[in-house]
Every structure is written in C-alpha cells, then in structure tokens.
Amino acid sequence: MSRIDELVAELCPDGVEFKHLGDVARIRNGKDHKPLADGPVPVYGSGGVMRHVDTYAYDEPSVLIPRKGSLGNLFYVDVPFWTVDTIFYTEIDQSQIDPKFLFHYLSTVGLGDMNHAGGVPSQTQSVLKKLVVPVPPLEVQRAIVDVLDTFTALEAELEAELEAELEARRSQYAHYRDLLLKAGKPDTYRSVGDICRSVSSGGTPSSGRADYYDGGIPWLRTQEVDFNVVTSTGRTISELGLANSSAKWIPANCVIVAMYGATAAKVAINAIPLTTNQACCNLEIDDAVADFRFVFYWLTNEYERLRSLGEGSQSNLNAAKVKAYPIWTPPLDEQRRIADTLDAFEALVNDISIGLPAEIAARRKQYEHYRDRLLTFPEKVSA
C-alpha cells in the first residue's frame, strides 16, 4: 500500500466528499489589458502569456480556465497576474482545496471537449460551477500534489535531454554534410541542367472541376517539398485531370525543387512515380553522370545560396535558374560514397526525430494514467 493509500484509508475511511466547483472556488471574468502600462505582471489569455503589465487582477494561487479558444489549455499561476476576457480565473477557498490539487484534477475532466457554442469553442461559468470535484483532506491533496509535481519535473527533464540530444545530432549531421560536400570541390563543376535527362514542371487541374481530383494519381504540391523523401501526397488527381492540365508523370528518384512560395529552393526526392504542380522543378537525373541522392544532398546544402537567387518577397525561382545552378560532380563512386555516408547520418537523425515524439508521448500517457489513478476516489455515502 502506498503512502497516499494509507492516508486515504486513515483520514477518509468512509470515502471522499465531492463538491461542486462553485462551492470551493469563485470563477471570475478577465478584463481588457490594453489601458495598462508595461510592468512585471503576466497577462494571460487562453493561449498563455500575452504581455506583462504594472497591475494585477489577483495575487493568490489560481487555476486559469479558458472561456474561448483552447478550452483544455489550463494554467496554474502562483504569482500576481492579470487575465483577459477569453479566460476565467478562480478565487479558491484554500481551507477546502489546494489550488495545485484543483489544477491537477481539472486536467482530468475533459474541459477541452466541453464546447457550449457554435464556431469558436466557448465555456460558461454556469457549466463550470456545476462540475463535481473530490475534496479529500488537505493532507491527502498535498501528498498527491507532491507526487505529481515530482513526476512532471522528471518528465520535463527527460524531454529537455531528448531535445538536446536531437539538436546535437542535427548540428553534427549538418557540419559533417558541409565538410563532405566541400571536399575537393574545385575538381569538376557542371550545371544542374547538364546532369539531367530531363527537367520539367507540372500543372494544376482546374479547381472548379471536382472530377479532376481524388482519382488516385499522386499529385505533389510545393508545400510538401521540405528536404524529404516523398512516399505519398496530400492530394491526388484523376486521369481526366491529368489529361486536361499540364501535370505529367515523373519517374521515381527525381530531385524536386520548389520554385515558388514559402518553400522556394527546398528540395525533395520522390520515392514513387507521381505528378506535381507547376511550382515544382522536377530533375530526372542522368545516372551515368550523377547519383540522385548526391544531387539532393548538394542542393540541400546549397539551400540558402539557391534561395538568394529568387525574386520577389517569396524569393521565387524559375527553371532556368535551377538548371544553371552549379554543382560539384566528382566521380560517381565518390558521389555514392558521400551519399551513403550522409544516408547513414540522415537515418540516425530521423530515428531520433521519430523516436523523440514517441518517447515523449509514452511518458505523457504514463503520467496521465498515474495522475488519473491518484485522483480517483471512492465517494463518501451520506448517512
């Protein structure tokens, strides 16, 4: 039996009393912060701290509950604060309930799913006041808070360590890639167009024709080009859409350069045959001259320089600029050796990138399971 189980058995052997939230806390509306001067006091909205001002609305520990927007985005605040009208604050009766205990418990009740309006998710005081919360003895509450705070601190420390490891690997990979792709560069240069069997762009079927879309033909848009290997696309087009547009099939293992928009100068490799929109410059590499992976890594490393050749606010490129861009072309076996080495580094970084969110999600799930167990009590039956 754990210490908390022992406390519950000792201090509330007949069960725990449950009360309405409105009986243990007063729910208050926020106010406009714009007239306030700058200062040290944080101003909270439903998304978090918006600014700092010189006046506080409340200076006791409180749980902040969004009224609009991200309803499940609770905050525990134990310093003086101000809130705007998109978030409630609570004046908690600390003789009945520990503020941090209330925060942990309200995190379990699914406030994020309690939308009481159409459009922007909204919450009401009347609904919140009727929420039922357990009120075990304060000694039990504080023991549970100590355990959950310790667990949360350990989780945050682990996340920081994993993020630091990932960042270190990314930096190491970028440094090594830069070294490999600069070694012996003066040997031989060609233009990108000279190492290609063909260079093409795609097209976009008319958006007004529903029958041109969702037909099973992979269709790549530039927003999906992000230094990645493309194995599927967010949209597909139909045979009719293909026939009635400039879109065209390209074989697998092309190097695709985004020419317009926010992703201009970013590159990708298509692992599958697909079609693209007109903002993609599709390089079918001549494998007698260059390894497509080497070309991908070269252009990835040249991203900033290639992007600087673009025009307009979004640094738009065109096919002529891409084709004219210089590329170092050492012998094929050297290209393959470099590509193999960078593939190994890329796999390591990707493994960590994939593993990091999975590890964090597993830790959070473990925490939520443990938290929910700690905050589940037998209800006291009235005589």
Contact 312, 324 (CB under 8 A): no
DSSP state of 212: G
Q: Is 49 helix (H, G, I), strand (E, B) or coil?
A: strand
For the stretch 84-94, pLDDT in tens is 999 999 999 99
Contact 319, 198 (CB under 8 A): no
pLDDT of res. 157: 84
Query: Is residue 220 scored above 80 in pLDDT?
Result: yes
pLDDT of res. 324: 97
Rounded mean pLDDT, 33-50: 94
| DSSP structure string for 235-291 | EEE-HHHHHTSS---B-TT-EEEE-SSTTTT-EEEESS-BEE-TTEEEEEE-TTT--
CA pair distance 94, 8, nearest whole angstrom: 19
pLDDT of res. 87: 94
Confidence of residue 171 (pLDDT cuts 50, 70, 90): confident
The dotted CATH code for 188-329 is 3.90.220.20
Alpha carbon separation from 193 to 227, 267, 281 (Å, rounded): 20, 15, 11
DSSP state of 187: S
DSSP state of 37: P
Q: For the chain, which residues make up each domain, given as ranges?
A: 1-16+138-170+332-383, 18-135, 188-329
Query: Is residue 223 scored above 90 in pLDDT?
Result: yes
pLDDT of res. 1: 45
pLDDT of res. 86: 92
Nearest to 260 by CA among 233, 281, 284: 281
Contact 338, 215 (CB under 8 A): no
**115 vs 80 pLDDT, higher one:** 80
For the stretch 313-325, pLDDT in tens is 778 999 999 999 9
CA pair distance 366, 343, nearest whole angstrom: 34
Query: Is residue 184 scored above 70 in pLDDT?
Result: no
Query: Is residue 78 scored above 70 in pLDDT?
Result: yes
What is the sign of the dihedral through the CA atoms of 117, 123, 129 and 135?
A: positive
Rounded mean pLDDT, 176-200: 85
Enumerate residues 6+ apart whose C-beta is below 8 A from 53.
33, 36, 37, 38, 39, 41, 43, 82
Q: How many other C-beta atoms lie within 10 A of the C-beta of residue 98?
A: 21
**184 vs 367 pLDDT, higher one:** 367
Global pTM exceeds 0.95: no
Rounded mean pLDDT, 290-311: 95
In what helix (H) or strand (E) does residue 98 lie, and over which residues does it extend?
Answer: none
pLDDT of res. 354: 67
Alpha carbon separation from 1 to 4, 6, 54, 136, 375 (Å, rounded): 8, 7, 49, 18, 16
pLDDT of res. 168: 82
**259 vs 2 pLDDT, higher one:** 259
Sole residue written with tokens 């309690």:
114
One CATH from 1.20.990.10, 3.40.50.10890, 3.90.220.20, 1.50.10.20 for 18-135: 3.90.220.20
**199 vs 72 pLDDT, higher one:** 199
CA pair distance 256, 263, nearest whole angstrom: 12
